[in-house]
């Protein structure tokens, strides 16, 4: 029987997947066989010819768990799944049986099992498989990930814990995440003071790390459905700044900061040529991740040749305006992908300084 921990969150985008990745990494230092389980997956993708949740696919690729993939993600919610359940075409009891059958396999195969919930604790209720109910079925204690504030964290914890209480599930600890570094100690102190009468512990998660929140060039290409031209080897570079190339050519180059993606319309030949040439200079290559080129105006032949020869990565579109591109990129909520080696390595490194895994293991499996 595996030791286990159920990772839940007060809302989406609190950092459940980052926490799961961190705990798998740390658990592997203590246990020979560490697995991952996403009982209910609302984000379908395909891997090895089967439909699985994106988080399960990520962990399978990062940690070499592909042989257990089918059991790691037994129930995947597709766009039409809710309607099928409500029409009686899918039996929720069957979905519950799938979860329990897969868990039985993983429980025997692994010494330690990270179980990741979906969204907030109520997600999955429509198919009678809320996070809280699944935690009860699996007899798992809960680590509740929250945001990094104070008042909103306290409110969110009380609201979400109520559903676990209703199911008779024990929340052993909460973990405020994405903490503002200069406020970290005071934030945790206030939370421990405010929640001191509660039966759970308050554990500090990660500080807010812009590098983890910022997209890669690959991610931008994916959300815009565009191809990376010229130099795909740089697809994994992280974009720290997004700049619109509206001012003069000289001013645009002066404003370049570390790891910038520049949006340049196709009619700005002088600026395109200048940036392409700058990319070939090592000190500027660090500043320039690539170019995003919108516009119905065709890039001139000579400018196109210079772009291609420079090997600067670029995305080309005539379907989006500069404003649309800027909004789409800045409003995107970044999710880790297996190709994000730099980000994943950073998560592993940070986890070793932020988490006391032995203490965490004791809290959830005493």
SS3 assignment for 167-197: CCCCEEEEEECCECHHHHHHHHHHHHHHCCC
Question: Which residues pair with residue 53 across a beta bridge?
Answer: 44
* In the predicted structure, residue 332 carries a pLDDT above the cut 80: no
Report which of residues 212 and 351 the model is more confident about.
351
pLDDT digits (tens, 9 = 90+) for 55-77: 999 999 999 999 999 999 999 99
- CATH 3.40.1390.20, domain 215-331, yes or no: yes
* In the predicted structure, residue 342 carries a pLDDT above the cut 90: no
pLDDT digits (tens, 9 = 90+) for 118-169: 878 888 888 889 999 999 999 999 999 998 889 999 999 999 999 999 999 9
What's residue 333's pLDDT? 67
Domains 3-208+337-365 and 215-331 share a fold: no
What is the CATH topology of the domain spanning 3-208+337-365?
Rossmann fold (3.40.50)
pLDDT digits (tens, 9 = 90+) for 261-303: 999 999 999 999 999 999 999 889 999 999 999 999 999 999 9
Domain ranges of the chain: 3-208+337-365, 215-331
Question: For residues 329, 211, 142 and 86, what is the CA-based torsion angle, rounded to 10 degrees?
Answer: 10
Q: Is the Cβ–Cβ distance between 277 and 299 less than 8 Å?
A: no
Read off the tokens for 309: 């020869």
- Taking the C-alpha atoms of residue 336 and residue 328, their distance in angstroms, rounded to an integer, is 18
Question: Given its phi and psi angles, is residue 49 left (phi above 0), alpha (psi -120 to 50 degrees) or beta?
Answer: left
Q: What is the CA radius of gyration of the chain?
A: 23
- Taking the C-alpha atoms of residue 288 and residue 258, their distance in angstroms, rounded to an integer, is 7
């Amino acid at each position: 029987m595996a030791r286990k921990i159920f990772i839940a969150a007060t809302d989406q985008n609190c950092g459940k997947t980052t926490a799961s990745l961190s705990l798998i990494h740390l658990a592997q230092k203590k246990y020979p066989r560490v697995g991952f389980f996403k009982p209910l997956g609302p984000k379908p993708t395909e891997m090895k010819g089967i439909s699985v949740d994106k988080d399960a696919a990520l962990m399978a690729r990062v940690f070499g768990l592909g042989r257990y993939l089918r059991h790691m993600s037994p129930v995947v919610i597709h766009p039409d799944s809710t309607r099928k359940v409500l029409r009686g075409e899918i039996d929720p009891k069957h979905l519950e049986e799938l979860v329990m059958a897969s868990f039985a396999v993983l429980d025997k195969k692994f010494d330690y099992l990270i179980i990741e919930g979906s969204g907030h604790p109520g997600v999955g209720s429509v198919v009678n498989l809320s996070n809280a109910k699944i935690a009860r079925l699996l007899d798992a204690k809960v680590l509740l990930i929250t945001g990094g504030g104070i008042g909103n964290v306290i409110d969110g914890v009380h609201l979400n814990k109520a559903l676990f209480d209703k199911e008779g599930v024990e929340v052993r600890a909460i973990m405020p995440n994405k903490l503002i570094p200069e406020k970290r100690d005071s934030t945790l102190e206030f939370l421990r003071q405010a929640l001191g009468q509660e039966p759970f512990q308050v554990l500090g998660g990660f500080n807010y790390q812009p590098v983890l929140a910022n997209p890669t060039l690959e991610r931008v290409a994916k959300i815009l459905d565009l191809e990376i031209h010229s130099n795909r080897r740089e697809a994994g570079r992280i974009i720290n700044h997004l700049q619109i190339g509206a001012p003069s050519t000289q001013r645009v180059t002066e404003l370049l900061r570390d790891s910038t993606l520049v949006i340049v319309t196709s009619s700005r030949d002088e600026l395109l040529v200048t940036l392409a040439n700058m990319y070939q200079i090592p000190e500027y290559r660090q500043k320039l991740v690539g170019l995003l080129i919108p516009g119905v105006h065709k890039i001139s032949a000579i400018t196109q040749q210079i772009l291609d020869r420079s090997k600067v990565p670029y995305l080309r579109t005539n379907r989006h305006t500069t404003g649309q591109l800027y909004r789409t990129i800045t409003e995107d909520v970044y999710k880790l992908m297996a190709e994000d080696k730099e980000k994943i390595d950073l998560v592993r490194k940070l986890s070793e300084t932020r988490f006391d895994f032995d203490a965490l293991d004791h809290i959830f499996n005493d």
